[in-house]
Chains A and B, each alone.
Chain A
Amino acid sequence: DAGVTQSPTHLIKTRGQQVTLRCSPKSGHDTVSWYQQALGQGPQFIFQYYEEEERQRGNFPDRFSGHQFPNYSSELNVNALLLGDSALYLCASSYTGGNTIYFGEGSWLTVV
């Protein structure tokens, strides 16, 4: 049973560019959340997707957007990249109403 998978694992972008990160949830899970983790900090909640809609958003600007597909996989898009967007981006999945959330290994984004 594959867990939460994310791609790419590492990438480097230039300030002002746009990036798309991808996530496949654990088998049987229908809810996907995204987190940003800056170096030395705990993960910060960006938003959650369920039934292809954004259900809840943390304190992140509109430059951060997402999408969920009918197969429950998800994408995180970040526009107009800033140096401060350099971080580990984590995807987490769960079954709606369930109590356990599982994380992927993350995508390391470096903005130069």
Chain B
Amino acid sequence: DAKTTQPTSMDCAEGRAANLPCNHSTISGNEYVYWYRQIHSQGPQYIIHGLKNNETNEMASLIITEDRKSSTLILPHATLRDTAVYYCIVRAAGGGADGLTFGKGTHLIIQP
């Protein structure tokens, strides 16, 4: 079972910031938070990951609470092409042999 909880769906206006929450209250000290997204009929696309510090890259920012029990993925200026299912996943550092455990994700719909 997935160790994360996400809202089923969210809407956001084009050009605004999209903030996607994720709860991971049972996260362990060596587990990272990963975000992937999947546009219809395509493979999952890696977005960002972090351990405890906030992270930013060209796609998004990841804000992790101090107790690490929740996080927020921020798409700063959403476009129609950001409409996708977004998955929040926790995974041990280095990963080992374990695969990623996907939950149901959040279906983000960007409205024109």
Give the B-binding residues of A (Cβ under 8 A).
4, 33, 35, 41-48, 50, 55-56, 58, 88, 90, 92, 94, 97-106, 108
Complex alpha-carbon distance, A33 and B97, angstroms: 9
Among residues of A, the one whose C-beta sits closest to the C-beta of B42 is A105
Verify A42–B105 contact, CB threshold 8 A. yes
- Chain B interfacial positions (CB closer than 8 Å to A): 2, 32, 36, 41-46, 49, 87, 93-105
- A residues near B46, Cβ cutoff 8 Å: 100-103
Secondary structure at the A interface, as helix, strand, loop or mixed, is strand
Q: How far is the CA of A45 from the CA of B1 in the complex (A)?
A: 12
> Are A106 and B102 interface neighbours, CB within 8 A?
no
Name the distance in Å between B55's Cβ and chain A's nearest Cβ.
12
Nearest residue (CB) in A for B94 is: A97
Query: CB < 8 Å: which of B49, B99, B101 contacts A56?
Result: B99
Q: A44-B102, A45-B99 are in contact. List 11 more A-B contacts (CB 8 A).
A: A35-B99, A35-B100, A43-B44, A48-B98, A56-B99, A98-B95, A99-B32, A99-B93, A99-B95, A101-B46, A106-B43
- Which among A45, A50, A103 is the interface contact of B43 at CB below 8 angstroms? A103
The CA of A50 and the CA of B95, in the complex, are separated in Å by 13
